[in-house]
Chains A and B, each alone.
Chain A
């Protein structure tokens, strides 16, 4: 049996370092928010011919608002593995309908082979951007509140507290990583964060369930032994589940990276992968040990509520 409880201070230290580093990075670099949050315009174009960067810049020159816009070359492969035509992603501030169409028209004039079916123009007004950010934060807060309520009802408040702490820990680390590497965040990232949410809660609760059960079956209440045993009993399952989920996610990452080459999709999958890894780590090393620490603070009568809920949960 691995002594997770005895070594929990080491895990806490590692997590603390990661979180502090993340917060520092968030403070210095902030998050790289995409157009969904800040408003702006993205053109993704496939010219169907070789092009020089200067040609693109010439087309863009008359558009003052696109001065200094980020231009990125993307290249994918078809399913046979042959490289497809190089494409281009241009990110700029919000532009009205007329301006966007004018840009597209100018590109079409300069690159007559341009494939409109293989292009994309997305534009988000500044009003919407702010709204989406507010919506995302609101959704996170309400989801946390609802989960605290459910876990308190099924288990006990301290379980809820430990689970949510582990959750915030996961989110902070993922956000820290995204800040440090300045990966662009858009609406799908919120979906990814919420997936991480669901995943780490799922993972943690299964261990909590085990603790609840083991407490019930024991006369002598040595919580640290019970928690350690519960974590160990769940270890194989935690690892196997993460592995299988990672199989699918890594296939997607490789597929998107190799065939599509679009950063948006890759970032999305990276968020999921990071989340699964951090979530598994925290459910083993952080969540349950944290619950044990909370027990020492005697917030409520330990064991009583857990035992009662276990009885009612049995069918």
Chain B
């Protein structure tokens, strides 16, 4: 049986397979790297997801511009928290989606995002003096020599300075209300005419609260009130455990698949195994290169696409076996098996691709992530089955590593 064996070609085949296994190992390692690997969704990595809706009122209409301005304000607030890779994006006409991975203090983040932070200075006659729009700087400070309580120091811009100077002259000796989001937070009495545009807010807060207030004032008020529609806060440990278990289970499952393929399809099964490892590393590589996010449903999509990748190989091998049974030579059975399997694989995969496209367009959130992963998975699996399996099978045939039906699992 070994008469057609060509050691040179066989060596090429073996080296190729080893290279694929090595690349597989490298890409598993790469994908496992939480820093540079595939971007994890918040359900895996942990973090805060929020969906906010702009509340339309009689005097404030919500349009694209409002949402854009609100996003700018939220972004500058979040940036001050130092959150890495935040997602703050419009969704639909009047919604804003916020995804914040890796948070130290999610409650603070939630507080900061949702607050309108509309600051007003109001005279005793109820007339508005100046608003937060005229602020240039806001800082939390403490002066232990005067009082242990922290305060927020404000600096107005040129216009604010003028307004403030005018008002302090007009209301000299009278109280001015400092109002934040319709709530009076301080009511100082004017004791001097202030022309440099500086003011302080003293109130019943600790230093942390003062810093938060200063932050809100610095980044400006939201142009519209935001209402929470959905909020998901997942601790980082929780998701990480899930990911570890999923990875181990997928590894065990994959090993069982490889073993099964080898037992059932012999040499061809080994080639399918190599193709499968190549497929997995290809998918992981593509996913890590694209700005996609891997969610738990996404992992399910991956598993399904692994199943379909195996399916493609199984279809090919079964077709080759069928052709062999009709009495063809191995070479011609392989070629016609590939040709006939191709059409079945194409139609089956394209139909599933259509489902993923529909999902991508119509769904949102995790289901969308599932659709993207499955879409990429199916493309990679078609490529692997049609191009790589075929190439390796031909090479194995030429090298004499597959010499008869027995090598693809046909009982002789």
CB <8 Å contact, A268 and B300? yes
In the bound complex, do residue A201 and residue B307 qualify as a contact, i.e. CB atoms below 8 Å apart?
no
* Max chain A Cβ within 10 angstroms of own Cβ: one of B230, B301, B370: B230
Whether B234 lies near A202 (C-beta < 8 A) is no
**Given A119-B238, A125-B228, A154-B347: A250 touches B253 (CB 8 Å cut-off):** yes
Say whether A252 contacts B355, CB under 8 Å. no
B162-209 with Cβ < 8 A to chain A? none
Is residue A75 contacting chain B, with contact meaning CB distance below 8 A?
A: no
In the bound complex, what is the Cα–Cα distance between A208 and B370 (angstroms)? 27
Decide yes or no whether B1 CB sits under 8 A from chain A. no
Contact of A139 (CB < 8 Å), options: B307, B363, B374: B363
With A120-B234, A195-B300, A237-B318 as known contacts, state yes or no: A150 contacts B350, CB within 8 Å: yes
Kindly state the separation between the CA atoms of A150 and B351 in the bound complex, as whole angstroms. Answer: 7
Candidates B244, B314, B354; contact of A237 at CB < 8 Å? B314
Q: What CA separation (Å) do A190 and B256 show in the bound complex?
A: 28
Which of A121, A139, A251, A272 has the largest count of B CB atoms less than 10 A from its CB?
A: A251
Contacts of A124 in B (CB 8 A): 229-230
Q: Count chain A CB atoms within 10 A of each CB in B307, B358, B364 and give the residue with the most.
A: B307
Determine if A142 and B358 form an interchain contact, defined as CB atoms under 8 angstroms apart. yes
Which listed residue (A122, A245, A250) contacts B310, Cβ 8 A? A245
Question: Interface size bucket, A side?
Answer: 35 or more
B254 within 8 A of A: yes
What is the CA–CA distance of A237 and B320 in the complex, to the nearest angstrom?
12
Q: Is the CB of B300 within 8 A of A260?
A: no
- Alpha-carbon distance between A247 and B344 when the two chains are bound, in angstroms: 24
B253 touches A205 (CB 8 A): no
Q: Is A12 in contact with chain B by the CB < 8 A criterion?
A: no
Contact with A along B346-364 (1 / 0, CB 8 A): 1111111011111100111
List the one stretch of B13-21, B213-221, B257-265 in contact with chain A. Answer: B257-265
B89 cross-chain contacts in A, Cβ below 8 A: none
A251 partner, pick from B253, B307, B350, beta carbons under 8 A: B253
Contact present for A241 and B314 (CB under 8 Å): yes
Q: How far is the CA of A218 from the CA of B235 in the complex (A)?
A: 62
Q: Does B129 make an interface contact (CB < 8 A)? A: no
B303 in contact with A233 (CB, 8 Å): no
The number of inter-chain residue pairs (CB within 8 angstroms) is: 237
Given A123-B232, A128-B51, A260-B242, the answer on whether A252 and B343 have CB atoms closer than 8 Å is no
Cα A75 to Cα B107 with chains together (Å): 26
**Residues of chain A with a CB closer than 8 A to B344's CB:** 205-206, 209-210
- Chain B residue numbers with a CB within 8 Å of A255 are 245-246, 248-249, 252
| A23 close to chain B: CB less than 8 A | no
Q: Per-residue CB proximity of A258-293 to B under 8 Å, as 1/0?
A: 011010010011001000100000000000000000
Contacts A123-B232, A147-B351, A194-B355 given; does A244 touch B249 at CB 8 Å: no
Q: A150 CA to B357 CA in the complex, in Å?
A: 13
A252, B307: Cβ atoms under 8 Å? Answer: no
B residues less than 8 Å from A245 (CB atoms):
303-304, 306-307, 310-311
Q: Are A252 and B246 in contact (CB under 8 A)?
A: yes
Complexed CA–CA distance, A102 and B309 (Å): 49
Interface hits, B41-69 → A, CB 8 Å: 46, 51, 53
Is A213 interfacial (CB-CB < 8 Å)? yes
Residue A13 at the chain B interface, CB threshold 8 Å: no
Question: Most chain-A CB neighbours within 10 Å: which of B53, B250, B254, B256?
Answer: B256
In the complex, the answer to whether A202 meets B349 with C-beta atoms within 8 Å is yes
CB within 8 Å of B: which of A68-126? 76, 79, 96-97, 100-101, 115-125
In the assembled complex, A59 has its CB within 8 A of some CB on chain B: no
Contact of A195 among B51, B233, B235, B304 (CB under 8 A): B304
Which of A139, A202, A260 is in CB contact (< 8 Å) with B308?
A202
Q: How far is the CA of A240 from the CA of B272 in the complex (A)?
A: 13
Cα of A204 to Cα of B396 in the assembled complex, Å? 31
Which residue of chain B has its CB nearest to the CB of A239?
Answer: B314
Distance, CA A96 to CA B245, complexed state (A): 33
Is A44 interfacial (CB 8 A cutoff)?
A: yes
User: Bound complex: CA of A203 vs CA of B248, how far in Å?
Assistant: 27
When distances are taken between beta carbons in the complex, the residues of chain B under 8 Å from A192 are 297, 300
Contact (Cβ within 8 A) A202 B256: no
B257 touches A247 (CB 8 A): yes
B351 to chain A: closest residue by CB: A201
The answer to the question of B37 belonging to the interface, with a C-beta cut-off of 8 Å to chain A, is no
A70 to B346 CA separation, bound complex (whole angstroms): 47
Give the residues in chain B near A118, CB-CB below 8 Å.
235, 237-238
Is B367 interfacial (CB 8 A cutoff)? yes
Does A314 belong to the interface (CB within 8 Å)? yes
Q: Within 8 Å of chain A (Cβ to Cβ): is B315?
A: yes
Query: Are A252 and B250 closer than 8 Å at their CB atoms?
Result: yes
Contacts of A125 in B (CB 8 A): 228-230
Residues of A within 8 A of B367 (CB): 136, 139, 187-188, 190-191, 194
Given contacts A76-B241, A237-B315, A255-B249, contact A117 B359 (CB under 8 A): no
Instruction: Say if the beta carbon of B405 comes within 8 Å of chain A.
Output: no
Q: Which of B63-96 contact A (CB under 8 A)?
A: none
- Shortest CB distance A132–B (Å): 8
* A151/B241 contact (C-beta < 8 A), A248-B253, A249-B303 known: no
In the complex, how many angstroms separate the beta carbon of B194 from the nearest chain A beta carbon? 36
Q: Are B296 and A265 in contact (CB under 8 A)?
A: yes
Q: Which 3 A-B pairs have the closest CB atoms?
A: A248-B253, A245-B307, A255-B249
6 contacts between A and B (CB under 8 A): A117-B235, A117-B237, A138-B362, A194-B367, A202-B349, A233-B322
Instruction: Kindly list 7 other residue pairs between chains A and B, CB separation below 8 angstroms, not including A143-B354, A260-B242.
Output: A117-B238, A128-B229, A136-B367, A143-B358, A194-B355, A201-B348, A247-B260
Task: Name B's A-contacting residues (CB within 8 A).
Answer: 46, 51, 53, 107, 110, 114, 228-238, 241-242, 244-246, 248-250, 252-254, 256-257, 260-261, 264, 296-297, 300-301, 303-304, 306-308, 310-311, 314-315, 318, 322, 340, 342-352, 354-359, 362-367, 370, 374
User: Which residues of A are in contact with B by a Cβ distance under 8 Å?
Assistant: 44, 76, 79, 96-97, 100-101, 115-125, 127-128, 135-136, 138-139, 142-143, 146-147, 150-151, 154-155, 187-188, 190-192, 194-195, 197-199, 201-203, 205-206, 208-210, 213, 233-234, 236-237, 240-241, 243-245, 247-252, 254-256, 259-260, 262, 265, 268-269, 272, 276, 313-315
